[in-house]
Amino acid sequence: MIKDRLGKYGAVYFSGDIKESVEDILGNETKKEILDDFFKALIKYDEFSEQLKNTKLTPNLTVLLYGPPGTGKTSLTRGFAKKYSIPICIVESDRLVSPLLGDTIKNIRGVVELAAEISKERGAFILFFDEIDAVGSERSNIHEVGEIKRAVISFLQVIDRVNYEGVPLAIFGATNHQHQLDSAIWRRFTFHFKFDFPDYNLRKQIIEGFVYKIENAKIGVDNSIFTNLNKEYKEIQDIVKELERKLGRKISEFDDNILWDEVKRKGKIEGLLKLTIGYSGSDIERGTKVALLKAINSELLTYDIFYNSLKMVGGTAIHVERQDILSDARTPTKAQKVFEENKKKLLGPPEI
Ligand SMILES: Nc1ncnc2c1ncn2[C@@H]1O[C@H](COP(=O)(O)OP(=O)(O)OP(=O)(O)O)[C@@H](O)[C@H]1O
Ligand SMILES: [Mg+2]
């Protein structure tokens, strides 16, 4: 019946309906640890709120997930819902927003109150607002600033009330447009988790993960996919180690351009990891699916098919603004500027 009651606002999933598991979303280890504690608290809500009572703090089970599309925000949450057998309603926030302000407010209150009621009746429940920035940003269909504010205020009020009433309802919000999110909404969430494009380490794991799945499905996979990937990975790691030694600091792929500039300068590497800079996990998944269509005809997934399919689908990063992609860390730090100026001295002439 829950599906009927909430159907107007979004899709409801019970653990049996959920395909992905927490383990399917690779990396993000710190988030997973914190989310494990979070969901343990949610399923033992009575005990947890009893403990909090003594501290005079009200439980506040709210989480904001932000970052570029296809980086695992929805899947990871759904994976946790499955792991802890908690039903989840994924609300498409756009659906709440109506040109009639009165309706927007009614919808926002309606969905939260309904979810609160359900969790009071039958225990832990998750309400996941996808694209939460649709409520309360220039992106919403509401045109007047004053109206946006009123929609935001009603959202905040209803969340505050749920927290205050103490029901085992977790409220999640996800957004790709964190810069446009009203700061009052931002503050309402206790946890903020940033999702990012995977770095080359994680891309290697994601690529291998998908190729293993293909092997498990008894589709032939040319071993050169793994050997090329390992070779490229080792070459990149060697460059990273050398750079870190010269610079005396850790470098991350997205902090600055040093790593890939150096790879380019050496002119050696042309592989899957280099190709997939700025790809999300979802882009890699799409590429894999395209490759599968071709591989089914030739009965073997070759390195070339895989490479070309990934190339064809392209990465998400080029479609989103630079500041969104690579976070604030992309603005060069003083140390990086000094490095840029002295790069030649530090690195020596290019290798041929
Ligand atoms: N870290 C990862 N490891 C493995 N697969 C991943 C990873 N990130 C994303 N994927 C793949 O991409 C798919 C889509 O991810 P998901 O829909 O959860 O992204 P999202 O962050 O919610 O995107 P959006 O912001 O567009 O809603 C996942 O089901 C998974 O197959
Ligand atoms: Mg999503």
Q: Which domains does the chain have, with CATH numbers?
A: 2-194 (3.40.50.300), 200-345 (no CATH)
pLDDT in tens, 8-18: 889 999 999 99
Of the listed ranges 201-205, 245-249, 279-283, 319-323, the one predicted with least confidence: 319-323
Please indicate whether residue 154, judged by its CB atom, sits closer than 6 Å to ligand 1: no
265 close to 250: Cβ distance less than 8 angstroms = no
**Residue 173: half-sphere exposure toward Cβ, Cα within 13 Å:** 28
Please indicate whether residue 70, judged by its CB atom, sits closer than 6 Å to ligand 1: yes
Closest of 129, 142, 135, 128 to residue 180, by C-alpha: 135
Residue given tokens 């990012």 in the structure block: 196
* pLDDT (0 to 100) of residue 49: 78
- Per DSSP, the three-state class of 267 is coil
Please indicate whether residue 75, judged by its CB atom, sits closer than 6 Å to ligand 1: yes
Please give the helix or strand (H or E) that residue 324 lies within, else none. Answer: helix 322-325
- Is residue 340's pLDDT more than 70? no
* pLDDT (0 to 100) of residue 341: 55
Q: What residues have CB less than 8 Å from 330, skipping those under 6 apart?
A: 254, 255, 256, 322, 323
Neighbours of 340 (CB within 10 A): 13
Entry pTM = 0.86
How far apart (Å, rounded) are the C-alpha atoms in residues 108 and 340? 50
Ligand 1 centre distance from Cα of residue 51 (Å): 35
pLDDT in tens, 42-95: 999 888 877 877 777 777 889 999 999 999 999 999 999 999 999 999 998 888
Please indicate whether residue 206, judged by its CB atom, sits closer than 6 Å to ligand 1: yes
pLDDT in tens, 23-47: 999 999 999 999 999 999 999 988 8
Hey, whose CA ends up nearest to atom 4 of ligand 1? Answer: 25
Most confident of 94-98, 162-166, 237-241, 294-298: 237-241
Ligand 1 atom nearest to 65, measured from its CA: 21
Closest of 327, 158, 305 to residue 253, by C-alpha: 327
